[in-house]
């Protein structure tokens, strides 16, 4: 399966999602590694098997094995961090946000790909997972690393569209 096959699964009522996926697959604001890593990390964060399989097949010849592993790592580590940091940010007892997390996050320091790319993928996953604190943190790193607001917005658009595709397909599967 590929992005085109994924788009074919999306029903007409979600035509905008289908069109957005096609547009984003052709996007040139990001490098191919940044773009396809954002797609893969966002797909993994979505948790939808069809979306994960389609995006994984699409990136097979577009990302190095190291980039695939790093995109998976971004989805994994943000799956943990987004919950922890969102919780400490939302809790009325502010002491929690001052305590050390005491969670292993070594992959962030040594992701196996360019740090800015990994941080961009982490930002995309943080958007899917809804952690404002992590979004701000990763945005600062990628902007300091030279990415523009247009490039960050592209990663956010990818995350939003991939997540929407996953939501549509999950909903359709529940209805059938």
Query: Which residues carry out catalysis?
Result: 131, 134
Determine contact, residues 32/153, Cβ cutoff 8 Å.
Answer: no
Cβ atoms of 50 and 1 within 8 Å: the answer is: yes
Ordered alpha helix ranges (H), the chain: 3-9, 15-25, 32-46, 49-59, 65-90, 106-109, 115-129, 132-144, 149-175
Q: Which are the contacts of 113, defined by CB distance < 8 A and separation ≥ 6?
A: 33, 37, 66, 67, 70
């Amino acid at each position: 399966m590929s992005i085109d096959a994924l788009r074919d699964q999306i029903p007409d009522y979600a035509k905008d999602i289908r069109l957005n996926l096609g547009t984003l697959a052709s996007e040139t604001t990001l490098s191919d590694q940044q773009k396809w890593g954002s797609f893969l990390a966002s797909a993994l964060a979505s948790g939808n098997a069809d979306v994960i399989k389609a995006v994984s097949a699409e990136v097979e010849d577009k990302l190095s094995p190291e980039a695939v592993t790093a995109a998976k790592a971004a989805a994994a580590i943000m799956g943990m961090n987004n919950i922890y940091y969102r919780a400490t940010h939302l809790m009325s007892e502010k002491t929690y946000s001052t305590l050390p997390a005491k969670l292993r996050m070594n992959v962030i320091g040594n992701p196996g790909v360019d740090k800015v790319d990994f941080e961009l993928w982490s930002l995309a996953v943080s958007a899917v997972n809804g952690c404002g604190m992590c979004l701000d943190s990763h945005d600062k790193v990628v902007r300091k690393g030279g990415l523009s607001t247009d490039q960050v917005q592209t990663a956010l658009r990818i995350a939003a569209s991939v997540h929407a595709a996953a939501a549509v397909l999950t909903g359709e599967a529940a209805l059938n």
